[in-house]
């Protein structure tokens, strides 16, 4: 394994994957507690900073299991090192040895976005606009750094804590990409939230994130997705045509301003799609929502119906597979 991960972080001129053993360094600084999550090649422990007692999430990655994902992992780490924002889960520090890599991250304990909405007793347009604004601020920030997230979806939006007024946090930058002179055509993301231009194999950029925010906001206001069909190919056709509606009775109580906001982000033409910066100036965001009717019952019922464990919208579809299906359809 020596030398397989030998790339260097240009900012700090230190190897991301080196030979030196750092296990003792992390245990001297953090007390590692119970495992709170497991993945295909990693596990996450609670880590308590010994001198401050502050709690973090420590992701332990076994290197031999990620040799085929080396570039993607290094890309994600390099991007996380550049990011510092109150609504983005941060990489605090990194420890490395021959066999394992330890990523010390912000610990978020508030749960997933939709789960918290269902738990609420009262939920209004104002709540939805506050959530949308936080996501817009974070994505506007990374867009300013030339970074595209490329996989925005509710599962990647977590509450920082269980506090009633907890902020939302964006996580998972595994598909994030720094914009460069190369034309972006790589199919990636989750088709339910992916922009039409990605499914059409056209070049794309930052507007794909804006489209995803529009889809998420749509769901925040009614509880169900803007595109739905039992047949995957028909679903993708709906997305590629931006074929969605504000159905009655679910949208009857939603303000005109909110509908305009969603439509400004879910524009078929990415050049006409609102940017994050423009969206932050929209009256529904900067002026607060003008409808404080409690929409919790309707929204939570639809969320439970459309986003249960077996729902295709809850599953991590691979956009590459979606593209293949569309190509077969067009042949």
Q: Catalytic residue numbers?
A: 151
H-helix or E-strand spanning residue 79 = helix 70-82
H-helix or E-strand spanning residue 148 = strand 147-148
Alpha-carbon distance of 196 to 215, in angstroms, equals: 12
User: Can you spell out the DSSP letters for 196-243?
Assistant: HHHHTT--B-THHHHHHHHHHHHHHHHSS-S---SSHHHHHHHHHTT-
User: Among 142, 175, 172, 150, which residue's Cα sits nearest to residue 69?
Assistant: 175
The tokens describing 231, both together, are: 């047949």
- Residues in Cβ contact with 294 at an 8 Å cutoff, skipping those fewer than 6 apart: 122, 123, 124
Asked whether the CA dihedral 141, 142, 143, 148 is positive or negative, the reply is negative
- Residues in Cβ contact with 120 at an 8 Å cutoff, skipping those fewer than 6 apart: 127, 296, 300
Helix (H, G, I), strand (E, B) or coil at 328: helix
Report cis status (omega within 30 of 0) of the bond before 307: no
CB burial string 178-206: b at 16+ within 10 A, e below: eeeeeebebbbbbbbbbbbbbbbeeebbb
User: Among 235, 202, 207, 237, which residue's Cα sits nearest to residue 306?
Assistant: 235
């Amino acid at each position: 394994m020596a030398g397989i991960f030998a790339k260097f972080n240009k900012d700090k001129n230190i190897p991301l994957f080196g030979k030196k053993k750092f296990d003792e360094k992390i245990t001297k600084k953090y007390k590692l507690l119970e495992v709170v999550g497991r993945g295909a090649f990693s596990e996450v422990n609670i880590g308590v900073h010994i001198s401050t007692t502050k709690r973090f999430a420590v992701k332990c990655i076994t290197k031999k299991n990620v040799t085929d994902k080396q570039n993607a992992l290094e890309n994600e780490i390099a991007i996380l090192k550049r990011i510092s924002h109150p609504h983005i889960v941060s990489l605090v520090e990194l420890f490395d040895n021959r066999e394992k890599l330890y990523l010390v991250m912000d610990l978020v304990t508030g749960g997933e976005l939709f789960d918290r909405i269902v738990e609420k007793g009262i939920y209004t347009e104002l709540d939805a606009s506050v959530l949308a604004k936080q996501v817009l601020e974070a994505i506007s920030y990374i867009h300013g750094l030339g970074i595209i997230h490329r996989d925005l979806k509710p599962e990647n939006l977590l509450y920082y804590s269980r506090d009633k007024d907890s902020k939302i946090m964006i996580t998972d930058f595994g598909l994030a990409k720094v914009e460069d002179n190369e034309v972006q055509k790589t199919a990636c993301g989750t088709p339910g939230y992916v922009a039409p231009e990605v499914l059409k194999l056209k070049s794309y950029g930052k507007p794909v994130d804006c489209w995803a925010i529009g889809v998420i906001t749509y769901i925040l206001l009614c509880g169900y997705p803007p595109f739905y069909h039992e047949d995957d190919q028909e679903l993708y056709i709906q997305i590629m045509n931006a074929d969605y509606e504000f159905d009655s009775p679910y949208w009857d109580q939603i303000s005109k301003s909110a509908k305009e906001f969603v439509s400004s982000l879910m524009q078929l033409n990415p050049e006409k799609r609102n940017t994050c910066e423009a969206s932050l100036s929209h009256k529904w965001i900067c002026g607060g929502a003008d409808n404080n009717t409690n929409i919790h019952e309707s929204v939570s019922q639809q969320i439970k119906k459309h986003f249960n464990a077996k729902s295709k919208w809850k599953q991590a579809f691979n956009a590459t597979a979606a593209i293949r299906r569309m190509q077969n359809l067009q042949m």
